[in-house]
């Protein structure tokens, strides 16, 4: 069913997924409809890549649980899956490196090969250890993409786009690579400032053709922060997260005032790393 005129795309979403919500899942659906609708792309896969514990965000519970919840959430999806590579790294890993990892995996022909899931084995989808990864991990810049290999693009909400402006959160060379080499698919609320933000940034403006803004007509305010708050207050999160995720959270009593205090006073990993770097460049 390949269409030679269309570029195949893999949508990669990075983030805490603390917990995964229906909003996260909606991003994938909206992005796929949009990209396929342009007539130029065919979205072949979606990947949820939960961040590792070393990210040190406040309230971040263990990657083990976050990966399992994401797997429960995508159980009934025919095209979105979870990848635990990022979450298994000992050190926090920049988003650009995660994109690179997945792009290289595709180049190496590993479209269906997956890392071992920590716990959940999906029937019919055997996961193998991708040893090839270590051989290609030292590439400094990507060679021209092999024809026929899907392109990995970063899927995100407008908040991520605007976080490019937060000092020391992103390396400017990473931002340049993310929009220049890979591409961004950014789901935004109507009337959002995403376009203005792109206009006001030289590097984003330069690669604006590679930044796809997708309109979210339904205001979808289901943030993980609000979910955790509702749980602390004993309020229902039904219909905001998939039922299986809600049941898992309840069964393991995952979110509480105590869990929300994790990493309080600890500096977020990217801020730590980029401030410590004596050659850090001002971000965009």
Partner 1 sequence: MYQVIGGIISPVNDNYKKKDLAAAHHRVAMVQLALQMSDWIRVDTWECEQAQWMETVKVLRHHHHQLLRSLSPEEGPDQGTAVSPAPAAAPELKFLCGADVLKTFQTPNLWKDEHIQEIVEKFGLVCVGRAGHDPKAYIMGSPILRRYQHNIHLVREPVQNEISATYIRSALGQGQSVKYLLPDAVIAYIKNHNLYSRDSPQKGNGTRNSGAETGQGGPATAPLSSP
Region near partner 1 per CB under 8 A, out of 5-13, 22-30, 109-117, 268-276: 22-30
Stretch that binds partner 1, among 24-32, 82-90, 121-129, 156-164 (CB under 8 A): 24-32
Note whether 229 binds partner 1 by CB under 8 A.
Answer: yes
**CA distances in angstroms from 241 to 53, 202, 225, listed in the order given:** 22, 38, 13
> Which of 25, 161, 181, 269 is the binder for partner 1 (CB under 8 A)?
25
Beta-carbon-side half-sphere exposure of residue 88 (alpha carbons within 13 Å): 10
Instruction: Decide if residue 217 touches partner 1 (CB under 8 A).
Output: yes
Contact assessment for residue 129 and residue 97, using Cβ atoms and an 8 Å cutoff: no
Which residue's CB is nearer to partner 1, number 75 or number 127? 75
- DSSP 8-state class, residue 143: P
Say which residue the tokens 């999806």 belong to: 77
**Taking contact as CB under 8 A, which single stretch among the options 116-124, 135-143, 211-219, 260-268 is the one that binds partner 1?**
211-219
Measured CA to CA, the distance from residue 144 to residue 131 in angstroms comes to 23
CB of 24 to partner 1, least distance (A): 9
Task: Please give the size of the binding site for partner 1, defined by CB under 8 A.
Answer: 25
**Of residues 241 and 269, the one with the C-beta less far from partner 1:** 241
Judged by beta carbon, residue 29 or residue 151, the one nearer partner 1 is 29
Among all chains, which residue has been given the structure tokens 């605007």?
162
Nearest residue (CB) to partner 1, 244 versus 284? 244
Q: Tell me the CA distances in angstroms from 113 to 21, 60, 66, 99, 125, one per residue in order.
A: 26, 28, 21, 16, 9
Rule CB under 8 A: is residue 240 a binding residue for partner 1?
yes
Q: Could you say whether residue 22 binds partner 1 (CB under 8 A)?
A: yes
Distance CA 272, CA 27 (A): 29
State yes or no: residue 235 binds partner 1 (CB under 8 A). yes
Nearest CA to 245 out of 264, 261, 222 is that of: 222
Q: Please confirm whether the linkage preceding 19 is cis (ω < 30° from 0).
A: yes
Please name every residue paired with 46 in a beta bridge, in sequence order, or none if there are none.
11, 80
| Residue 189 phi, psi (nearest 5) | -70, 150
* Window 34 to 63, contacts with partner 1 (CB under 8 A): none
Selected binder of partner 1 within 138, 221, 258, 265 (CB under 8 A) = 221
Which one of residues 138, 141, 219, 257 is an interface residue with partner 1 (CB under 8 A)? 219
Q: Please identify which residue in the block is written with the tokens 């990210």.
A: 55
Candidate residues 3, 33, 116, 277; the one interacting with partner 1 per rule CB under 8 A: 33
- With 0-12 CB in 10 A as exposed, 13-18 as middle and 19+ as buried, what is 39? exposed
| Binding track over 59-78 against partner 1, x by CB under 8 A | -----------------xx-
Assess 226 for contact with partner 1 (CB under 8 A): yes
Site residues (vs partner 1, CB under 8 A): 22, 25-26, 29-30, 32-33, 76-77, 217-223, 226-227, 229-230, 235, 238, 240, 242-243
């Amino acid at each position: 069913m390949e269409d030679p005129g269309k570029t195949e795309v893999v949508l990669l979403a990075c983030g805490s997924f603390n917990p995964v919500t229906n909003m996260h899942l909606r991003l994938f659906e909206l992005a796929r409809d949009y990209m396929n609708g342009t007539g130029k792309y065919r979205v072949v896969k979606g990947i949820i890549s939960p961040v590792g514990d070393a990210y040190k965000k406040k309230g971040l519970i263990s990657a083990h649980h976050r990966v399992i919840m994401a797997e429960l959430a995508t159980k009934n999806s025919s095209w979105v899956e979870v990848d635990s590579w990022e979450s298994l790294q000992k050190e926090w890993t920049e988003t650009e490196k995660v994109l690179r990892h997945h792009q290289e995996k595709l180049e190496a022909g590993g479209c269906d090969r997956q890392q071992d899931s920590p716990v959940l084995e999906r029937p019919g989808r055997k996961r193998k250890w991708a040893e090839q990864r270590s051989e290609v991990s030292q590439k400094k810049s990507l060679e021209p993409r092999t024809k026929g290999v899907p392109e990995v693009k970063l899927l995100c909400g407008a908040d991520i786009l605007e976080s490019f402006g937060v000092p020391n959160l992103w390396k400017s060379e990473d931002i340049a690579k993310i929009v220049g080499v890979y591409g961004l698919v950014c789901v935004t609320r109507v009337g959002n400032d995403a376009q203005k933000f792109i206009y006001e940034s030289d590097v984003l403006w330069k690669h604006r053709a590679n930044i796809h803004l997708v309109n979210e007509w339904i205001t979808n305010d289901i943030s993980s922060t609000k979910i955790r708050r509702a749980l602390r207050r004993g309020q229902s999160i039904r219909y905001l997260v998939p039922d299986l995720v809600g049941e898992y959270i309840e069964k393991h009593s995952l979110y509480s005032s105590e869990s929300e205090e994790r990493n309080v006073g600890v500096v977020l990993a990217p801020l730590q790393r980029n401030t410590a770097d004596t050659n850090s460049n001002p971000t965009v």
